[in-house]
């Protein structure tokens, strides 16, 4: 029962847990039943002494009081439902406390007793070893009693003292090999890295005379338990306060607790630095001598140093920044927008926390050490829904002017009203820019140049927004396409939610979900669409026709903020406006490929394919309703990825479905890339719902919705001639290019190898009425007899199709390193093949990209796309507000919470076991009490930087973690907040998972936990282990818990990976640092500041497409792609024979295209290098073609014994000028290994070496 200070009862609640600290007791409640009025305890018959804090009463009296107070019995008190963000954050906080108590302690309060094990084994972190260890002490003596089976402590968790007192700096932190392969230090042998001290460094003004330092820790002594009578370790709080004078030089060591004089506070004060500030370093040193027996008595546990001004002022200042001699304008801009995120201190062997002044964010009132640091990241979201947001943005939302359905309906919003609504958005952005300009030199000082530059970028975006609105006003086709795109996106959003809920067996209807909340644009999404409208509506726009002035729009928004919907809206507009443009420049725009959407990872590609298919379904239904406007050609979506994922030929598709029907397990390519209908959520059975028409004159794969009642518009009953508008077979994509193509960037390396890929760029002049587009050397010539009820056909001459108008590159930060460099070279061919002529202008595709992490984007976009970059939204003067996105206070919107764990002296697997067990069993406790509110934390995602580390952890997860989680309550050790749990659903999401399994695993990740599972029922995962395959594009809203094994190599990967959790609920990320790696240790010691500014720390990506070695790998493939796909004569396989003239237009145009791009992207030297290398390749090609007695093809085929291949596939042999990769990741030859078992066996090996022609066939 909760009472006021005046002694009146106001509510009753269930107690979840009680935590005690020195002088305090905190009661955590399970649920609350409030009273309408406060009633004095005396009136309820309860005697209470306020000085006691809590009063015990009989249950009978309590029940009567509850009924009188609330009108209900205590059993009616509600459980915490977790419906609000505050309640969800409360559940997460209980999880954090349980984990911190279990790993750091003291778990049972400041005077706890530990029975059954040593203190060093009980707690994983927060330990200082004595400086002087007992030499030659028997290792088992003090553990004689504790080694009674406690059921929880593995041998490798034993922490050993630093007997030789070896400095941490003298222990190698990394091995000569790559960091991922660094061997783990064996704590039992090294005896070296349990620190004896920890401390911090902070900055104070030069005139600061003294600081107050409060030090606390726990010391444990042997004794007899007052509860069980067994021998135990009893905790005694230790520590004290001292005032230290801030004088330059070393500080005199001082004792803070007279009971333990050997534990000292030491440190030093620097000379004035920077603007006259001083750096103060303090250390807590455990100088005790370790006894032969009961050695834990000489150890320090749960140490903490707290530093304050002795007068209580805000005296702690920004730590001086390192001087950077190289001028970097982008770095200075980042310093400006993060100027209020100040680093006040850094830890030494520990982390730190600063209490920021409420009156001045650049000063702190307190700094302290933190063994388990935490930092909650502010949520970045689009404004308009909060009462504190700008009035105009709130009005846009309130009036429904961001509602996609309303924007699509001219009866709801006339053209003038729609334009007026969009003008409100642009007008308010203009006002925001003016307000920020006024703040330069006033609220923002010292960054005038960077601030003015930022405002100029914002004004450029403003002008382009106005241009987009003007285009809609003046171009009726653009307005119609804009409304069409809005209607399609509205249906995509609603139907996407509907399908997901149907997959989760929720009883919902489309009408119930079709509400404005589910189909409303964020302002930045609508603005991003407006930016692309002019260039897509007018092919002669400067973004399409002026290479050096064209903009590639880079959409920057944190993960989970809605980037996908933004560029899908642009794609919908591009596909629809194209239908209005008909034939321009002699090219047919009513069909053909309009949008290419590229990704780098197949997991991301498959996920986005499922999301985009919902949009295409919506567009196709709208087309069918109005074919006069939108044409007779269906809107379709293609999936163009590796042959191990989707079939290359219809014959392969037919075989895959036959295997499905025969229940033959196959991990190869399959057309079954959709596990459920994207329109209604019905599960798709590949053997039943996928039909492959494989007979002469057909050759087409159909995927139907499985709705057995035929209610879905894409079921066989309602749409037999098409089914779902998706194409997943390469051969069928070439014949009938889809409206939008989702592909991996790797696949574009196949342009040099497959002449039929020219159809993607519209290069076709004839068509078979049955099969589709034809190309030189096509197996079908378009002439067929009447058969199977189909009429006879003749080849049809057609106008060439228009190339793609829009290229979307998602997760642009992954286009870097070797892959990005290869993409940059091949992009020359993609750009040229997508270019067409309109009047005197050469029209190129519009390029947009998206990412959540960006740095040095200007250089990267220029090297890859040869365009200027326009980052949207551009930053303002502060990171917390750029108009289109704002960072919310964590008090209003709980963000993602990060915890840091570092345990010197323990092996990495041992630390992971402890962390996994603590999180899994604490989540189980919460789930038992709070149910669905704790579900996000019931599946633990383990993130690893390498497959090797993941493989080791999977074994431990299926063995040690499972055993320890089950036995967590089977010992004398009290572990509050943890509950026994059966952990048996362990899986991984890595490159080792087949493409067929990926959609099934993603669907399973969506499954919520249940108290009881039926026999044979698919169960939710307990643990999912993943590599960087998870770090992009996995959108599973349910996930809320992740453990990161070691700091990833770059910040972008860290942000991307950890952003996979906490998308719909307050997430918790636990980063386990490896103490032997200096980089990990550095991130741990500056944990709080790094996480509050980690977007600032994103590393620049390297893309060097015209470097000599990059040209070695990619130039030939690029030139062959240009020449083969751009010329009819060179297109067939044997067309390679026709390249006889080195001065012919085919060769000169290709050489000019590549060399000019090198000049524009880099410099004249790069152009000269490209010219020299390109001419050398053309000369050699011509010589190969001129050789007699044979035919020259791009590759050899069966039955072509006289054909010699021009191109060579990468392999064990050395690369030469005509080695062309089949994937852009093939930049180095592979190594073939043979396991030599003969060394351990008397038998001859079962294999025989391949015979060589020049040795007579001898082995």
State the pLDDT confidence band at 455, using cuts at 50, 70 and 90: very high
Beta bridge partners of 896: 377
Cα–Cα distance between 652 and 1078 in angstroms, integer? 51
The residue assigned the tokens 């029940």 is 63
Let me know if 931 is exposed, middle or buried by CB neighbors in 10 A (0-12, 13-18, 19+).
middle
CB 109 within 8 A of CB 20: yes
Does the structure show a pLDDT above 60 at 726? yes
Does the structure show a pLDDT above 80 at 59? yes
pLDDT given at position 791:
83
**Helix, strand or coil for residue 120?**
helix
Q: How far is CA 623 from the centre of its chain?
A: 35
Does the structure show a pLDDT above 60 at 1136? yes
Average pLDDT over residues 29-53: 80
Q: 775: alpha, beta or left, given left = phi > 0 and alpha = psi -120 to 50?
A: beta
Which of 10-14, 690-694, 846-850 holds the top average pLDDT? 846-850
**Helix, strand or coil for residue 643?**
coil
Average pLDDT over residues 939-968: 93
Average pLDDT over residues 59-84: 85
Q: Which two tokens stand for residue 331?
A: 């770095």
Cα–Cα distance between 790 and 825 in angstroms, integer? 46
Q: List the single range of 258-262, 489-493, 975-979, 987-991 with lowest mean pLDDT.
A: 987-991
Cα–Cα distance between 449 and 451 in angstroms, integer? 5
CB 52 within 8 A of CB 45: no
pLDDT given at position 696:
63
pLDDT given at position 41:
84
pLDDT given at position 154:
39
Does the structure show a pLDDT above 50 at 169? no
Does the structure show a pLDDT above 50 at 165? no
851-875 residue pLDDT tens: 888 888 889 999 999 999 999 999 9
Element holding 617 (H helix, E strand):
helix 602-625
887-911 residue pLDDT tens: 999 988 999 999 999 999 898 999 9
Torsion sign over Cα 972, 977, 982, 983: negative
> What is the overall mean pLDDT for the chain?
88
Does the structure show a pLDDT above 60 at 176? no
Average pLDDT over residues 434-452: 93
pLDDT given at position 712:
95
pLDDT given at position 191:
40
Q: Which of 449, 556, 435, 560 is nearest to 875 (CA)?
A: 556
534-573 residue pLDDT tens: 999 999 999 999 977 899 999 998 887 889 999 999 999 9
Beta bridge partners of 1071: 900, 1044
pLDDT given at position 1236:
62
State the pLDDT confidence band at 157, using cuts at 50, 70 and 90: very low
Torsion sign over Cα 818, 821, 825, 829: positive
Cα–Cα distance between 335 and 1089 in angstroms, integer? 13
Average pLDDT over residues 279-298: 93
Helices of type H across 881-1007: 908-930, 947-956, 962-966, 998-1005
Does the structure show a pLDDT above 70 at 1020? yes
- Residue with the bigger pLDDT between 323 and 1162: it is 1162
Does the structure show a pLDDT above 50 at 180? no
CB 1148 within 8 A of CB 1252: no
Let me know if 45 is exposed, middle or buried by CB neighbors in 10 A (0-12, 13-18, 19+).
exposed
CB 961 within 8 A of CB 1065: no
Question: Virtual CA dihedral for 1077, 1082, 1085, 1089, nearest 10 degrees?
Answer: -140
622-652 residue pLDDT tens: 999 999 999 999 999 999 998 888 899 999 9
Which of 182-196, 590-604, 1055-1069 holds the top average pLDDT? 1055-1069
Q: What share of the chain is helix, strand, coil (3-state, %, to 5)?
A: 35, 20, 45
Q: List the single range of 22-31, 107-116, 797-806 with lowest mean pLDDT.
A: 22-31
Q: List the single range of 185-189, 238-242, 402-406 with lowest mean pLDDT.
A: 185-189
Cα–Cα distance between 860 and 874 in angstroms, integer? 17
CB 383 within 8 A of CB 886: yes
Name the DSSP letter for residue 961: I
Average pLDDT over residues 1208-1229: 84
pLDDT given at position 1044:
97
Q: List the single range of 28-32, 574-578, 704-708 with lowest mean pLDDT.
A: 28-32
**Helix, strand or coil for residue 407?**
helix
pLDDT given at position 161:
37
**pLDDT > 70 fraction of the chain, expressed in percent and rounded:** 91
Average pLDDT over residues 1196-1211: 85
Average pLDDT over residues 259-284: 92
Does the structure show a pLDDT above 70 at 153? no
pLDDT given at position 428:
97
Helices of type H across 355-447: 391-398, 404-408, 415-439
Q: Which of 328, 337, 448 is nearest to 858 (CA)?
A: 328
- Residue with the bigger pLDDT between 320 and 720: it is 720
Does the structure show a pLDDT above 80 at 190? no
Q: Which two tokens stand for residue 160?
A: 């050993």
Average pLDDT over residues 465-478: 97
Count CA within 13 A, CB hemisphere, residue 20: 8
pLDDT given at position 1243:
63
Does the structure show a pLDDT above 90 at 617? yes
What residue ranges of the chain are covered by domains with CATH 3.40.50.300? Answer: 888-1092
Reported CATH class of domain 888-1092: alpha beta
pTM: 0.88
Average pLDDT over residues 1137-1163: 91
State the pLDDT confidence band at 167, using cuts at 50, 70 and 90: very low
Does the structure show a pLDDT above 80 at 149? no
Cα–Cα distance between 281 and 268 in angstroms, integer? 5
Beta bridge partners of 355: 366
pLDDT given at position 102:
96
pLDDT given at position 186:
44
Does the structure show a pLDDT above 90 at 43? no
């Amino acid at each position: 029962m909760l009472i006021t200070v005046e002694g009146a009862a106001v509510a009753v609640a269930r107690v979840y847990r009680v935590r005690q600290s020195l002088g305090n007791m905190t009661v955590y409640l399970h649920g609350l039943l409030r009273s309408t009025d406060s009633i004095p305890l005396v009136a309820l018959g309860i005697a209470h002494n306020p000085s006691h804090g809590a009063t015990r009463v009989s249950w009978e009296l309590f029940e009567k009081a509850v009924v009188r107070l609330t009108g209900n019995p205590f059993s009616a008190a509600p459980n915490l439902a977790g419906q609000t963000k505050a309640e969800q954050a409360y559940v997460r906080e209980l999880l954090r406390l349980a984990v911190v108590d279990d790993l750091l302690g003291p778990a049972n309060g400041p005077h706890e007793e530990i029975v059954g094990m040593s203190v060093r084994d009980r707690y994983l972190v927060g330990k200082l070893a004595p400086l002087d260890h007992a030499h030659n002490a028997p290792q088992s003596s003090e553990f004689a009693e504790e080694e009674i089976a406690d059921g929880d402590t593995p041998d490798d968790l034993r922490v050993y003292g630093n007997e030789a007192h070896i400095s941490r700096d003298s222990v190698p932190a990394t091995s000569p090999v790559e960091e991922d392969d660094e061997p783990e230090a064996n704590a039992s042998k090294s005896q070296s890295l349990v620190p004896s001290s920890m401390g911090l460094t902070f900055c104070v003004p030069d005139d600061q005379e003294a600081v107050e330092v409060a030090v606390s820790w726990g010391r444990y002594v042997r004794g007899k338990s007052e509860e069980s009578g067994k021998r135990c370790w009893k905790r005694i709080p230790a520590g004290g306060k001292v005032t230290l004078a801030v004088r330059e030089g070393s500080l005199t060591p001082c004792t803070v607790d007279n009971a333990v004089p050997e534990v000292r506070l030491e440190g030093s004060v620097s000379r004035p630095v920077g603007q006259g500030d001083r750096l103060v370093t303090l250390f807590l040193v455990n100088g005790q001598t370790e006894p032969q027996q009961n050695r834990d008595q000489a150890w320090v546990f749960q140490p903490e140093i707290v530093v304050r001004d002795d007068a209580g002022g805000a005296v702690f200042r920004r730590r001086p920044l390192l001087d950077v001699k190289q001028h970097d304008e982008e770095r200075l801009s980042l310093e400006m927008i993060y100027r209020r995120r100040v680093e006040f201190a850094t830890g030494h062997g520990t982390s730190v926390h600063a209490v920021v002044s409420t009156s001045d964010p650049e000063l702190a009132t307190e700094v302290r050490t933190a063994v388990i640091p935490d930092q909650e990241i502010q949520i970045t979201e689009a404004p308009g829904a909060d009462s504190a947001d700008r009035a105009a943005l709130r009005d846009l939302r309130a009036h429904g002017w961001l509602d996609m359905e309303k924007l699509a309906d001219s009866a709801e919003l006339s053209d003038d009203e729609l334009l007026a609504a969009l003008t409100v958005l642009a007008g308010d952005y203009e006002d925001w820019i003016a307000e920020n300009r006024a703040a330069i030199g006033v609220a923002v000082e010292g960054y005038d140049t960077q601030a003015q530059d930022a405002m100029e970028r914002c004004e450029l975006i403003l002008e382009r927004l106005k241009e987009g609105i003007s285009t809609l006003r003046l171009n009726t086709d653009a307005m119609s396409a804009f409304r069409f795109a809005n209607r399609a996106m509205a249906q995509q959003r609603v139907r996407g939610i509907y399908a997901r809920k149907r997959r989760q067996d929720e009883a919902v209807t489309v009408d119930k979900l079709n509400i404005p909340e589910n189909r409303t644009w964020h302002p930045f999404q609508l603005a991003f669409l407006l930016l692309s409208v002019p260039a897509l509506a007018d092919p002669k726009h400067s973004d399409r026709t002026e290479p050096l002035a064209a903009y590639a729009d880079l959409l920057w928004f944190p993960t989970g903020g809605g980037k996908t919907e933004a560029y899908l809206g642009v794609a919908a507009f591009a596909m629809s406006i194209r239908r209005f443009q008909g034939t321009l420049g002699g090219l047919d725009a009513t069909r053909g490929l309009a949008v290419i959407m590229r990704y780098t990872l197949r997991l991301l590609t498959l996920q986005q394919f499922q999301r985009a298919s919902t949009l295409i379904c919506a567009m196709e239904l709208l087309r069918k309703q109005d074919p006069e406007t939108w044409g007779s050609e269906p809107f379709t979506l293609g999936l163009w990825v590796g042959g191990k994922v989707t079939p290359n030929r219809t014959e392969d598709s037919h075989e895959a479905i036959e295997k499905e029907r025969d229940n033959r397990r196959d991990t190869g390519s399959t057309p079954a890339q959709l596990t459920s209908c994207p329109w209604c959520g019905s599960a798709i059975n590949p053997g039943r719902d996928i039909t492959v028409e494989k007979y002469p004159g057909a050759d087409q794969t159909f995927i139907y919705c499985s709705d057995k009642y035929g209610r879905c518009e894409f079921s066989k009953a309602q749409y037999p001639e098409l089914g779902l508008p998706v194409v997943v077979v390469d051969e069928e994509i070439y014949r009938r290019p889809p409206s939008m193509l989702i592909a991996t960037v790797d696949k574009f390396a196949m342009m040099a190898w497959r002449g039929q890929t020219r159809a993607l760029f519209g290069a076709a002049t004839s068509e078979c009425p049955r099969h589709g587009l034809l190309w030189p050397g096509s197996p079908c010539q378009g002439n067929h007899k009447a058969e199977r009820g189909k009429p006879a056909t003749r080849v049809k001459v057609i106008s060439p199709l228009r190339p793609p108008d829009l290229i979307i590159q998602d997760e642009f930060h992954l286009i870097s390193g070797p892959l990005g460099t290869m993409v940059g070279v091949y992009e020359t061919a993609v750009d040229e093949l997508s270019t067409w002529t309109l009047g005197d202008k050469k029209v190129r595709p519009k390029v947009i990209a998206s990412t959540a992490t960006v740095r040095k984007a200007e250089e990267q976009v220029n090297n890859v796309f040869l365009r200027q970059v326009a980052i949207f939204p551009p930053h303002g003067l502060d990171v917390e507000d750029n108009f289109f996105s704002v960072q919310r206070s964590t008090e209003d919107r709980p963000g993602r919470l990060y915890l840091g764990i570092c345990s010197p002296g323990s092996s990495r697997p041992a630390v992971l076991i402890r962390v996994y067990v603590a999180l899994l069993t604490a989540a189980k406790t919460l789930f038992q009490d709070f149910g669905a509110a704790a579900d996000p934390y019931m599946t633990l995602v383990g993130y690893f930087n390498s497959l090797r580390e993941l493989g080791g952890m999977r074994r431990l997860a299926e063995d040690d973690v499972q055993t320890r989680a089950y036995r967590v309550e089977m010992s004398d050790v009290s572990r509050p907040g943890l509950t026994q749990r059966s952990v048996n659903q362990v899986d991984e999401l890595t490159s080792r998972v087949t493409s067929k399994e990926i959609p099934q695993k993603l669907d399973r990740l969506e499954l919520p936990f249940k108290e009881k599972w039926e026999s044979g029922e698919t169960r939710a995962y307990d643990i999912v282990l993943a590599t960087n395959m998870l770090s992009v594009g996995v959108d599973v809203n349910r996930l809320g818990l992740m453990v990161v094994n070691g700091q990833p190599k770059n910040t972008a990967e860290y942000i991307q990976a950890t952003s996979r959790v906490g998308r719909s609920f307050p997430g918790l990320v636990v980063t386990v640092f490896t103490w032997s790696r200096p980089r990990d240790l550095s991130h741990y010691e500056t944990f709080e500041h790094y996480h509050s500014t980690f977007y600032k720390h994103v590393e620049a990506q390297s893309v060097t497409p015209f470097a000599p070695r990059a040209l070695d790998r990619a130039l030939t493939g690029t030139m062959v792609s240009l020449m083969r796909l751009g010329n009819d004569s060179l297109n067939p396989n044997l067309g390679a024979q026709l390249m006889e003239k080195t001065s012919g237009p085919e060769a000169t145009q290709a050489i000019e295209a590549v060399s000019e791009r090198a000049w524009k992207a880099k410099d004249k030297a790069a152009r000269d290098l490209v010219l020299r290398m390109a001419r050398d390749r053309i000369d050699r090609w011509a010589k190969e073609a001129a050789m007699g007695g044979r035919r020259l093809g791009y590759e050899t085929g069966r039955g072509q014994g006289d054909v010699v291949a021009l191109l060579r596939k990468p392999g064990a042999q050395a690369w030469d000028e005509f080695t062309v990769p089949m994937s852009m990741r093939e930049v180095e030859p592979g190594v073939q290994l043979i396991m030599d078992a003969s060394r351990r066996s008397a038998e001859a090996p079962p294999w025989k070496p391949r015979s060589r022609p020049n040795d007579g066939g001898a082995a």
